[in-house]
A and B are shown apart, each in its own frame.
Chain A
């Protein structure tokens, strides 16, 4: 008992089970590289337009099946009309949901704070986190590094 020599990290990295795990991570890295290369090489505006019009569905572990539409250029105009960051966030989420759930009440940039005030916080936080990670959400940096809605400047 107690005779087992504790492996150093460099020795542990050579263990077969760890090498298998590392190989799996490497495969993911290579797949990611390949995906990024593909994205970098192919720009298909027709496909983009088709995708932007679609309603996406995703299964969320706590919220269930979420349906949403992607934000488009016209949406940024509406979002930019909102007075503050909280309203812009709420408007982004509202617009994405509105595309899929047409029976949602109507909100404008002036009344979006009502949406903020009435949406349950628990679900809202999960929803924000989820939508924030979607490609069509403008408030996060895209994989191509495009700027965010908050940093857009209106032309004079």
Chain B
């Protein structure tokens, strides 16, 4: 069982080692945690419920990058996703999904080099605005 966080839709910047490597349109993110339940011997109700191991998933409709970075991304290079959940790219509400990797992508016929569609993947951690 998991407890999904509300989905957000924004555009994101892809950053690798302080360098912008791409731009993702219509990003959606979700965070899940395994549910932990501990039962006592004398009750059917759980004595303790808690959120356990976490996983962070993201997806975007289209990702624009260039040929070099495309090859790196396809080879599993990790990057950070930087976006503003409230739609303000320069405010203090910027969220960073760190060490993201691509787990799935599609590519339509006729697309130029450096464009991926229906991309999704996972992140290791999330850095929320302070």
Q: Give me the interface of A with B, judged by CB distance under 8 Å.
A: 6-10, 12-15, 17-19, 21-22, 25-26, 28-29, 32, 132-135, 137, 140-143
Contact = CB atoms under 8 A, between A and B. Distances in A.
Interface residues of B, number: 29
Contacts of A135: 109-110
Contacts of B23: 22, 25-26, 28-29
Contact of B64 (A14, A29, A141): A29
A7 B15 CA distance: 11
A142 B20 CA distance: 29
A110 to B, nearest CB: 28
A149 to B, nearest CB: 12
A22 B20 contact: yes
B75 interface: no
Contact of A18 (B20, B98, B110, B112): B20
Given A8-B96, A9-B15, A13-B15, A143 B20 contact: no
Contacts of A8: 96, 127
Given A8-B127, A25-B65, A29-B62, A141 B108 contact: yes
B15 A32 contact: no
B87 to A, nearest CB: 14
A25 B64 contact: yes
Contacts of B108: 140-143
Contacts of B13: 13, 18, 22
B110 A9 contact: no
A10 B114 CA distance: 23
A137 B111 CA distance: 13
A138 B44 CA distance: 57
21 contacts: A10-B82, A10-B96, A12-B20, A13-B15, A13-B20, A13-B94, A14-B90, A15-B18, A18-B18, A18-B20, A19-B20, A22-B20, A25-B20, A25-B64, A25-B65, A28-B112, A28-B115, A29-B62, A133-B107, A135-B110, A143-B111
Contact of A140 (B20, B64, B109, B112): B109
